[in-house]
Structure formats: C-alpha cells, structure tokens
Copies of this chain bind each other. A is one copy, B any other.
Amino acid sequence: MLHILRHTPQDTSRFASSLRVMGPKQGLLLIEDGVYALLPRTTALSALQLLPASVRLYALETDVIARGLAMDDVPKRVTLVDYPTFVQLCTQYDKVLSW
C-alpha cells in the first residue's frame, strides 16, 4: 500500500494518524504541503526517520522545490520522484491511500 500525504505535519492530525497505521513494507509519498515533513530539525522528520526500514519514503520533487526546501536537506532515505514515477509507484503498490 502507498500512503499519500499532502498536508503539513504540524497543522492537522493527518500526519500523526497516517504514521500510526503505517504497516511494514508500505510506502509513503509526500506531495503538496506534505513535503514540509522534510524540514530539518523537526519532530515530523524524526518521526519519519523512525519508521521501520522496510517502509519506503518518497517525495514529489517539484513540490519540494516549489516550496523552497533545500535539496541538500532531503535525507538520503527519501527518494525524490517526478509524476511518471508517482504513477509507477501507484502500479507497484497494490493500493493507494490518500490522507
């Protein structure tokens, strides 16, 4: 299953809820304001880093750049993707859940 998160981690309960129900071997794709979870020195980023190693993390590159996040700050664990890869991820996981 691929989870898609589009809201800021600090301003709604969606980020916390999605992490709470994330299972092993699932994927998490950050899009739109969800990419703010990659801001360094935040509890959101720490929470992402603490996810089991089998959970794959992705972020939509255009949304990351558009919002002014520094590419150097993006953790190695996170794969930056474009829309074609976003589509590919959807086919790769058995279902897609948007938060």
The closest CB in chain B to the CB of A13 belongs to B11
Interface residues on A, range: under 10
Q: Chain B residues with Cβ under 8 A from A13's Cβ?
A: 10-11
**Interface residue SS majority, chain A:** loop
List residues of A (1-17) whose CB comes within 8 Å of B's CBs.
10-13
The closest CB in chain B to the CB of A14 belongs to B11
A12 to B13, CA, bound (A): 7
Q: Chain B residues with Cβ under 8 A from A10's Cβ?
A: 13
The closest CB in chain B to the CB of A11 belongs to B13
Tell me the minimal C-beta distance from A89 to chain B in angstroms. 28
The closest CB in chain B to the CB of A10 belongs to B13
A 1-44 to B, binary, CB cutoff 8 A, 1 in contact else 0: 00000000011110000000000000000000000000000000
Tell me the minimal C-beta distance from A44 to chain B in angstroms. 13
Tell me the minimal C-beta distance from A57 to chain B in angstroms. 24
**Could you pull out 4 A-B pairs where Cβ atoms are within 8 angstroms?**
A10-B13, A11-B12, A11-B13, A12-B12
